[in-house]
Amino acid sequence: MIRLHHCHQTRSMRSLWLLHEMGIDFDLVVYPFDKTLREEPYRSLNPTGRVPTLEIDGAVVTESGAIAEVLCERFPAAGLGRAPDDAERIPWLNWIHFAETISQHCAALTQQHVALREDQMRSPIVMQLEARRLAKTLGAVEAGLRGDCLLASFSAADVGIGQAVYMAAHFVRLDGFPKVAAWFDRLQARAAYRMALPDEPGLYLRDFYPPWDLPQ
């Protein structure tokens, strides 16, 4: 049994996308982005009140990078992982976990723009600082792209980084990163990516949040 606990437009989207890419059967439980995650029964699964959480054959995995590793090892025929003796294993692992580096800045910006609802609670300085930090991570992806994918062929690394870029694009324009923009366009054309998108309003109610834009 495989069950993913998910909130729209959060880190758990990368786990959902990966499951769709693999074409395997799984159950999906969708939560609102609110205190429900800190209440029972979810709290017993993941005491941090965060997503994703993956239940797989009696085990519980709560880190998106670990979920990617577990799924790729469990379903090697999907071809989305890299075996320990593969020459691409180290860069594959690095990209899998670099997705979280990108996401930590997305999370800080999401807190500023979305979670903090009162203007006086927000900090334009934090918004600008985190947007610059986020842009640096996109620069690293720009430098790392050598072809159509992050590695020689499409893998879970593209899913993880691609989902992080999906979040990042709400705060940093991709115009300054032409290779990232072209690569992300290709990812958006994938059926599994589209299946992971929300079919109802999610966390982000706007397409873009400029760092200096405070609601009036």
In the chain, domain spans: 2-78, 89-196
Q: DSSP 3-state assignment of 198?
A: coil
CATH class of 2-78: alpha beta
CATH class of 89-196: mainly alpha
User: Do 203 and 9 form a contact (C-beta atoms < 8 A)?
Assistant: yes
Phi, psi of 3 (to 5 degrees): -135, 130
- Segment holding 192, helix H or strand E: helix 191-196
The set of residues, in sequence order, having a beta carbon less than 8 Å from that of 103 and lying 6+ positions away, is 11, 164, 167
The tens place of each residue's pLDDT in the chain, 216 residues long, gives 999 999 999 999 999 999 999 999 999 999 998 889 999 999 999 999 999 999 999 999 999 999 999 999 999 999 999 999 999 999 999 999 999 999 999 999 999 999 887 888 889 899 999 999 999 999 999 999 989 999 999 999 999 999 999 999 999 999 999 999 999 999 999 999 999 999 877 789 899 999 865 544
Sole residue written with tokens 């797989």: 56
The set of residues, in sequence order, having a beta carbon less than 8 Å from that of 52 and lying 6+ positions away, is 4, 5, 6, 10, 11, 12, 14, 15, 16, 62, 64, 67
Rounded to two decimals, the pTM is 0.94
Order of strands across the sheet that contains 2-6:
27-30, 2-6, 53-56, 59-61
Distance CA 67, CA 81 (A): 12
